[in-house]
Structure 1
Amino acid sequence: MLPSPSSSPRAVFDNCTNLPISLAPVNPPKFLPTPPRDKAAKRSAHQDGPLPKRVKLSFDDESSEGSNSDSDAKSENTSTNRRKTQKYSLYGTNSRSIMVPINRYGYFPQPTRPILQSFVSSNKSDVFRCQSTDINTYLTLPYACSYTHGAKQGHLPILAVATEQGSIHLLNTSQRRDWDVEPQRAVIQAHNNGIFDIKWNNDDTLLATCSGDQSTHITCPITTTPLHALRGHTSTVKCVAWDPCHHSLLSSGGRDGNIYIWDIRMAGEQGDDGGPVLSPAISIIGAHEAPKARGRPRKGVPTPRGITNLLYPDADPYGLISSGSFDGILRYWDLRQPTNGRTSKTVKTKAPPVLYSSPIDPTTLHGSRRSRGIIALAGGIGPTAGLVFGLGADSRIHTYTLPSLAAKTTSYMHKNLQGNSFYVGLSMSPCGYWLASGGTGALGSNFLFDVSSATSSLSATRNQMGVELRGQIGEVGALDWAENSLATCADDGTVRVWRPDIERYKSCMEQPDEKRWDWSWTVDDVE
């Protein structure tokens, strides 16, 4: 979605600059409003007259002529006014296509898996290549990516892509025609080692990156200036997360098994790589070790239980959820630190307590004889609020409930999904209905799941199958959603953007041999 025209020079040159200067502060997405219980309140929200019936609009000529012949002038004016304010969502199958209106609460009236099947990607305008900074190689591997919060709310879709060379590519992924040139990008050298996670802060003014150099850096994307270097981990820093309720706080987890809480307001010593070097404000040593061994050196054990992902729950401003590489147990930490009025540096702070821990390991519920780790986490939004989804090394996406972190029997899977990689990601769509997962292997596939019924008791009786999108080569690791689009990163050095387009999907299915040179789409298989 392009920004609205303006006479301001910053708006005029927004699409021509190599820096995302239009990243205006936005508020975090809110939950969808609760529908009114009173029928009269529901009826008052519509126009004069009885409640309108649900109408499915078909693209077929016969149905269009029939609908026009049966409508009079009054109904035509009513439908015209409704179309100005009514949002429609593309909904289709292999043989026909319809448009289903989204109700005024933002919910789809029926399962949305056919919408996921209509995702397509242009082989020209939707592919971005990550150029290498090394003169001896052409492309570099993208390890992580993150859309701005504004992109998730319909603003300019700026995507930050982190590579194995420690560089950050800022891409404008707005939809364009195949013959249009790619908007100029900005490249920032944040580390001298691979970046394994990248996140925008709450108002899209700072970028946090964690790397194999055992540090986390805070960078300004406008000036490309390094602001802070966060040091404390003794191994690769795997994940980073900004606190949504406290703009100066963030957390990081590493393969050393430790979780650190950082406050960028703290003073630090000047570092060699620019910006002050900060020490952690709160430390959780051996976060996923056995309770008796936590905080003690582990003798005779070469590999610690690394931290794979961190997630701040929306309902608790002082909580933090972590996952580990050893098993499917999640832990819920209470980050409140009482000081009793003492602020002396000599006061030793205690490690945060565990409020909740998963009572059952879901990776052992489907025939596995041993525990498997959780690779990535994604929190529910809107219709899936109160849930946490975790991609396990058993190639299943497991569902946890908040705040107890109890695992449901529901799992999401696909016959081609392999989730046993250190780099595979998981991402929830802004609408809260769809979940996207990367995958290992040479197929270059990513997978979409309709999780709208995850809170229903009926969904616990069966495993949910996904939709496979295939358009890249090698492992598809990092991925992230913007409004109406999904970006995926693969080992072929490319970033590909997918969008729902029912008309394009129909033409691809009708002429697959001709369209496959220009488009990529859903793998048509029977689950």
Structure 2
Amino acid sequence: MVHYHYGPSTASDAVPSSPPAIVSSPASSSLLLSPIRSTRRKERRNPSVTPRRFGRFFTPRSSLPSGRSVLGMLDGASVNNRQLASPMSFLSDPLSSDPLCPPSPSERLGVSGEHKRLLGETRAESAKRRRIAGDSQYGLQGLINGTIIEEDLTMTEGLSEDGAKAKETLESLGDRRKATLNLFFKASRSGSRGQEKSGLTPQRLFAADPKAPLQLEGYQPKPVRKFRDRGFESHLLDREHGFSLHHGRQHLSHPACDPRVETSSFYSRSNDLHHCVSSTGGGNTIPFSLASCHKASVTAIGDEQGCVRLFNTTLNDDLDDSKVDVYISVHDNAIMDLAFSQDDMRLATACGDRSGRILDVPTQTVAAELGGGHWDSLRQVAFQPGEAAGNVIASSDRAGRIQIWDLRCSSSPVNSFSCPSGIGQRDTSLEPLQAKGVNTIDNAHERTVQGNTSSASVTAIHWMPPGREHLLLSASEANASIKLWDTRYIKPRRQAEETPLAVTQEPRGHTWRSYGITSLALSSDAARLYAVCKDSTVYAYSTSHLMLGHAPELEDGATKRRPNGAHGLGPMYGFKHELFRAQSFYVKCDIRPGINGSSELLAVGSTDGCALLFPTDERYIRSAWAKRSHMAPEPSFATPSQSISTPSAFGSSATPLIPISRLGTPLIRGHSREVTTLSWSHDGKLVTASDDYIVRQWQQDEARARYLRQVGEFGGERHLAGWADVGDDWDTPDDDDE
């Protein structure tokens, strides 16, 4: 826009209505002018009522801008939106760090540092524009518009970045101080009028700055507990809902909903262990498998030399009393798995020499052989519960085959096995009978790598409870998918592949890579299925969701139906702990039914040299999640090596991740290497085996466990002992909680 200037004006608002007449010479002009009057008239002044004042008089006061614009807006919204200078700003611009150049009102009103730098560079060219903008009625708005115009002109002129930097380095700090002071006083004189004319609010000015942070980073609200510290009645109500914070042992003022109540009393003494030494000579041997009797305090140990030891789990105070008195040589290779029948009369073994055997426990001799059905080393063996009475066995191998054996189909004498209650004993002079396979599932699990499909090792099998004992669960090292089989169905000859009843989905988060399953455990009511996964997580499945919709195959006493490979749901939630790692397929799990009013406990081995206990009562899990339910979900994405760890995390806007519970308790100081296998005795004791050649039992005593946690290292009372690590706050007396 071209501006015309016709000389100084007596008033800031006086603008000539038409240009003056052009005269040719002073002589001619003097003839045309009228004579000068000698009398002085009344002084001409500006009108008292201008259009601007007239408009302000009839404008509602609510729509007019308020506040002291020169000193900055002091209302609540402006003060809260005012941004503090960051430490990086003092390093980026030497003028901003100068103590003689304080922040100006224009900076508070939204004039950025980039605009001030452009003003300093082009101060010679924009001096006239700033004077016009300062004398005009637009004030600060004209100044800001002039800054924007100068920025556009600088960009259109094509100045290079190197030239701009060179010009900035040549300017002295004193010149920049003058430009800043000039800007300060100019904004102070005309800031209020410019604010009124422009109609911009400080909120809009701050929102126009893209570099200004709009919210605090990393801020999270604290939990709002309405019933905290509000008396006895509030604690009782808190207890009913399961939201208690304190464990409590003696007083009702601290009601308990803490899972450590179930696990804090476990401990192990120095004489509650057995060091596995080779039975044939010197040297140590690694215990590979454990199995406990259902009605006696005996746990069988299978080692890497093919020997079975009977471990006595009764408490004894004599330090010289040995925990193992019976050694049975069964195989010439490592025993990978052991299983007792329901009446404890038979013990099945799975060996690495591709064979399995059935021991007659009363006579401690081999009564049957499971040979010829597998072409690779065995991994798991399990007796079928229910009416089979120890006659039906399932075994799996490394080649992906599952074999079903029935001892009743073999021709054998009556006294081949001992009878329960001492009615009859086995004839030890008889040769072991050869068991016959009644069903075979080949390639039960497969893996596909780069288009090549191969069989995968079946690392875990588990029968369903009586009533549904014809159903068999299996898992492999290929992925975290569990399959459900009907062992009564034998495939026809024209069928090339085996078809399971159902296949579960892999956990969310396994999209980058697959993780195998090492062990399976079923709850006592068969409502939950627990699987130990190689991603260091124990997943919990609902057995009712193994098949979706109407599933008559899962009913008790269901008729035989042709399987169709239905799809089931994935896990509902998982268990994790900072000391739980499953780095090998030897890490197993076992579950203890609830005894004496306590809940079920899931015991899991770990590569970190300790066993962990997870209470499976879901009231503990719901209570822990309820304390975090008020917090906003944080977005997180699954990576190839990352497991899902927050109960309210979402990997995307549509697919939620799996909630994780971290309410486990480690049993420390009991082992120094990887804890592989473990087993619960019938009376609630836990037996663990480790690669440090130690088999140890754990029992419950709250006073003894607390004493071991507090006695300290001096005195040697902790030597070869172990205890449950529940934290320092657990053993604090109730009187010290206040």
User: TM-score, normalized by length of structure 2?
Assistant: 0.50
1:411 paired with 2:411, answer no
Corresponding residue SS for 2:689 = strand
**Cα deviation 1:379-428 (Å, max 9, x = unaligned):** 0114xx31100000101000111143322341101112111212111000
In structure 2, the residue corresponding to 1:219 is in which secondary structure?
Answer: strand
User: Aligned AA for 1:469?
Assistant: L
Deviations 1:81-114 (A, max 9, x none): xxxxxxxxxxxx99975599xxxxxxxx954423
C-alpha displacement of 1:164: 0.6
Question: Equivalents in 2 of 1:413, 1:375: separation in Å?
Answer: 15
Match of 2:660 among 453, 463, 468: 463
The AA in structure 2 aligned to 1:436 is A
Query: Cα deviation per residue 1:341-377 (whole Å; 9 max; x = unaligned)?
Result: xxxxx9999986411110x201xx2476211010000
Q: Which residue of 2 aligns with 1:378?
A: 521
- Tell me the equivalent position of 1:357: 503
In the TM superposition, what whole-angstrom CA distance separates every residue of 1:145-193 from its partner, at most 9, and x where no partner exists?
011111xxxxx31101111111100121101215361356211111110
> CA 1:518–1:136 in structure 2 vs 1: closer, same or farther (change >3 Å)?
closer
User: What letter is aligned with 1:447?
Assistant: L
> Could you tell me how far apart the structure 2 residues matched to 1:178 and 1:255 are?
43
Match of 2:267 in 1: 120
Q: Please tell me the root mean square deviation across aligned C-alpha atoms, in Å.
A: 3.4
Question: Partner amino acid for 1:476?
Answer: V
**Counterparts in 2 of 1:347 and 1:488: CA distance versus 1, 3 Å:** same
Matched, 1:239 2:239: no
Task: Note closer, same or farther for the CA distance 1:349–1:201 as it changes in structure 2 (3 Å cut).
Answer: farther
Partner of 2:470: 318
Is the Cα–Cα contact under 8 Å of residues 356 and 403 in structure 1 kept in the other structure? no
Specify the SS of the correspondent of 1:505.
helix
Q: Is 2:589 the counterpart of 1:421?
A: no
Structure 2 counterpart of 1:306: 457
In structure 2, which of residues 518, 537, 542 is the aligned counterpart of residue 401 of structure 1?
542
Contact 1:447 1:469 in 2 (8 A): yes
- Number of the residue aligned with 2:618: 453
The residue that corresponds to 1:479 in the other structure is 678
More displaced stretch, 179-188 vs 431-440: 179-188
Q: More deviation in 365-374 or 277-286?
A: 365-374
**Kindly, what percent of the aligned residue pairs are identical?**
26
Q: Is the 8 A contact 1:149 1:204 kept in 2?
A: yes
What does the per-residue CA deviation read over 1:287-342, in whole Å, with 9 as the maximum and x for residues that have no partner? Answer: 0127xx9xxxx999696311011111125121000011100100000122479xxx
C-alpha spacing 1:500/1:303, structure 2 compared with 1 (3 Å): farther
Within-5 A mapping of 1:101-500: 110-124=257-271, 126-137=272-283, 139-150=284-295, 156-179=296-319, 181-182=321-322, 185-231=325-371, 232-245=373-386, 246-247=388-389, 248-267=391-410, 274-289=431-446, 304-314=455-465, 316-337=468-489, 353-358=499-504, 360-362=505-507, 365-366=508-509, 369-382=512-525, 385-405=526-546, 406-431=569-594, 433-441=600-608, 444-453=609-618, 462-465=659-662, 466-470=664-668, 471-482=670-681, 483-500=683-700
Deviation at 1:511, TM superposition (A): 1.2
1:34-113 correspondence to structure 2 within 5 Å:
97=249, 110-113=257-260
SS of match in other structure, 1:115: helix
CA contact (8 A) 2:481 2:503 kept: yes
Rounded to whole Å, the distance in 2 between the matches of 1:404 and 1:379 is 14
Counterpart contact for 2:246–2:258, Cα < 8 Å: no
Inter-partner Cα distance in structure 1 for 2:511 and 2:431? 48
Distance 2:671 2:436 in 1: 40
- Residue in structure 2 matched with residue 521 of structure 1 by the alignment: 723
Shift of 1:222: 1.6
Specify whether residues 454 and 98 from structure 1 end up closer, same or farther in structure 2 by C-alpha distance, changes over 3 A only.
closer
What is the rounded CA distance, in whole Å, between the counterparts of 1:512 and 1:455 in structure 2? 31
Query: Structure 1: which 5+ runs fail to align?
Result: 1-53, 55-92, 101-108, 151-155, 340-345
CA–CA distance in 2 between the matches of 1:196 and 1:241? Answer: 12
The letter of the residue matching 1:395 is S
Deviations 1:120-163 (A, max 9, x none): 10012x111223123241x211101011111xxxxx31101111
Q: Which residue identity lines up with residue 481 of structure 1 in the other structure?
A: W
More strand by share: 1
The 1:416–1:338 alpha-carbon spacing in structure 2 relative to 1, beyond 3 Å, is closer
Measure, in 2, the Cα distance between the counterparts of 1:114 and 1:456: 14
TM-score of the pair, normalised by structure 1? 0.69
The separation in 2 between residues aligned to 1:433 and 1:313, in whole angstroms, is: 18
Q: Label 1:378 to 1:95 Cα distance change in 2 as closer, same or farther (>3 A).
A: closer
Question: Contact 1:227 / 1:276 at 8 angstroms: preserved in 2?
Answer: yes
Distance 1:236 1:453, change over 3 A: same
Separation (CA, whole Å) in 2 of partners of 1:415 and 1:387: 24
Quote the Cα distance in structure 2 between the aligned partners of 1:229 and 1:265.
Answer: 13
| CA distance 1:299–1:226, change in 2 (3 Å) | farther
Shift of 1:524: 5.1
Amino acid in structure 2 at the alignment position of 1:373? G
Q: Is the CA contact 1:94–1:506 (under 8 Å) kept in the aligned structure 2?
A: no
What is the SS of the residue equivalent to 2:570? strand
Aligned-partner Cα distance in 2 for 1:112–1:387:
18
Q: Which has the higher contact order (CA 8 A, sep 6+)?
A: 1
| Helix, strand or coil at the partner of 2:261 | helix
Greater Rg over alpha carbons, structure: 2
The worse-fitting range, judged by mean Cα deviation, of 485-494 and 128-137 is 128-137
- Counterpart amino acid of residue 464 in structure 1: S
SS of match in other structure, 2:311: strand
Distance change in 2, residues 1:330/1:520 (3 Å)? same
**Structure 2: tracts of 5 or more residues without a match:** 1-235, 237-244, 414-429, 547-568, 626-646, 649-658, 730-738
Q: Distance in 2 between matches of 1:437 and 1:396?
A: 10
Query: Is the CA contact 1:334–1:353 (under 8 Å) kept in the aligned structure 2?
Result: no
**Displacement, 1:117?**
2.3
> In 2, Cα distance between the equivalents of 1:456 and 1:215?
43
User: 3-state DSSP class of the match of 2:263?
Assistant: helix
Letter in 1 for 2:587: V
**1:177/1:366 CA distance change after superposition, 3 Å:** farther
Q: 1:331 to 1:367 in 2, by over 3 A?
A: closer
Q: 1:221 to 1:351 in 2, by over 3 A?
A: farther
Size of the aligned set, in residue pairs, is 401
Moved over 6 A (4+): 93-96, 346-352, 454-460
**1:22 — aligned with what?**
none
Hey, what's the Cα distance between the residues in 2 that align with 1:464 and 1:221? 40
